[in-house]
Amino acid sequence: MGEQYYRMPRRVLVIALLMAFGMWLPLTVVPVVADIIEQQYSIPHTLTGLLFSAPVAMLSLTAIPGGFLADKIGIKKAVGIGIVILASGSALRGLSSNFPTLLVFTLIYGLGLGLCFPNLPKLARHCTPRERSNITVGMFTSAILISGALSLAIIRPVIYPITHSYQGVFFISSIPAILVALLWWTFIHDPPCESAGIQAVNFGLNSFRKIIINSGLWLVSALFFTHNVVLYTILGWMPSFLVNIGARVTIAGLITSIIFLVGTVSVLSLTRLSTKLGRRKPFLWGTSILLIAASLGPLIINLPTSWILMSVIGLAAATRFTMILTLPVEMVSPEHSGSASGLVMSAGYLGALAGPIIGGLILDSTKSYQWIFITLAVVSAITTGIAFVIPETGAKRSTSH
């Protein structure tokens, strides 16, 4: 039986894009104010790395329950609950007066992230035809990248001088999430799209078991794990590395923001190219090879050429990220897409937890950044190998798949 789709309502698309922006903005400000938090609480690099990775640790723990919940009660309710928790935890960080309370509120934010984020690909799958779902996911990715670019570019030179505290920065970065929580519950219908149907379908343990034993989904999970090790280590430590080679703090954030700016352009163009070609795998192994070279780039660059390196990282990482998010929802039927995305994100975001912390441990023990980037090159090589064996899910996939 063919799947019937309607055009995604404009209000759903706009609010979902704002949600993608608002849910990640509170995380991307952490590297920008990491040195301030370290100085205020006299903590080592490893603990500031934990502040950056703790939300994705919660995302890893709650992604499967979050996806399962959406498959059972519908996208609107599951995401709506998540965005309220996310906005609350993010805003409460602005009230923290010591590191333990800051970490607790950060974990609450991460809990909401785990309920929201895995269900954006599910929303794309439900509201658009299968062969175009990666374009919709690409639009959501672009909103995420814009939030990262904005935080890195303006938080330190513009917002921090106004607030004079990391708490003020955290509260201001929560405003979009608070706004989107209000918009979601006010204007989004249940279900959000006509083609989503009544989403509380017959999804039980037998269906979930099929998700768990799907070998293709586990390959995607492994791919996402190694991807996140590389991406989050780079995002977590690149600003301080650039300061280490001579950049001013404000300029270091601006240079790092190039990753997001170039990523936004590449995602919008390359996802359409992927759809036109009917292929996903070349965009996975090709970007992975590129990231092997980019991981070694910091060993040889100087400050002027760092802009070029950030551009290469942005193009490769953003494209690969979008393709990976698309894979699980293309491997299963729409009613199972929330749980499939949850599985991949649950396993994959353990890499986002491990990467920045390992980077911090390496930096604390060696006092040098070079071993961080050598490690990332090795991980990128492993990612390339996984990308070559992963199933093709594009329109020109094998008929036996």
Task: Provide Rg for the chain, Cα atoms.
Answer: 20
What is the Cα–Cα distance from 100 to 106, expressed in whole angstroms?
10
Cα 256 vs. chain centroid, distance in angstroms? Answer: 16
Cα pseudo-dihedral 283, 222, 77, 200, rounded to 10 = 100
Q: Looking at beta carbons, which pairs linking 100-104 to residues 24 or more positions away fall under 8 Å?
A: 102/37, 102/51, 103/50, 103/51, 103/54
Q: Determine the topology of domain 10-195+209-389 in CATH.
A: Growth Hormone; Chain: A; (1.20.1250)
Ranges of each domain in the chain: 10-195+209-389
What span, in angstroms and rounded, lies between the C-alpha atoms of 315 and 308? 11
Of 215, 228, 227, 226, residue with least CA distance to 340: 215
Which residues are CB-neighbours of 281 under 8 A, at least 6 positions away? Answer: 387, 388, 390, 392, 394
Tell me the three state secondary structure of residue 67.
helix
**Cα-based distances in Å from 325 to 92, 147, 287, 318:** 29, 18, 15, 11
CA 348/CA 222 separation, integer angstroms:
6
pTM of the model: 0.77
Q: What's the rounded Cα separation, in Å, for the pair 109 and 101?
A: 12
One DSSP character per residue, 211-228 reads HHT-HHHHHHHHHHHHHH
Question: What is the chain's pLDDT, residue by residue, as a tens digit (401 residues)?
Answer: 344 445 678 899 999 999 999 999 999 898 889 889 999 999 887 788 788 878 888 988 888 788 778 878 888 999 999 999 999 999 999 999 999 999 999 999 999 998 998 888 778 877 877 667 778 888 888 898 899 888 888 888 899 999 999 999 999 999 999 999 999 999 998 888 866 544 444 555 666 677 777 888 899 999 999 999 999 899 878 888 999 898 888 788 888 889 988 988 888 788 888 888 888 899 999 999 999 999 999 999 898 999 999 999 999 999 998 888 888 878 877 667 777 877 888 888 888 888 888 888 888 888 889 999 999 999 999 999 999 999 887 766 654 44
**Gap between the terminal Cα atoms of the chain:** 18
Q: Which pLDDT belongs to residue 206?
A: 67
| Residue 1: per-residue pLDDT | 39
54-69 exposure pattern, b = at least 16 Cβ within 10 A, e = fewer: bbbbbbbbbbbbbbbb
Give me the long-range contacts of 240-249 (CB less than 8 A, separation at least 24).
240/31, 240/34, 240/35, 241/298, 241/369, 242/303, 242/306, 244/369, 245/302, 245/303, 245/306, 246/303, 247/303, 247/306, 249/35, 249/156
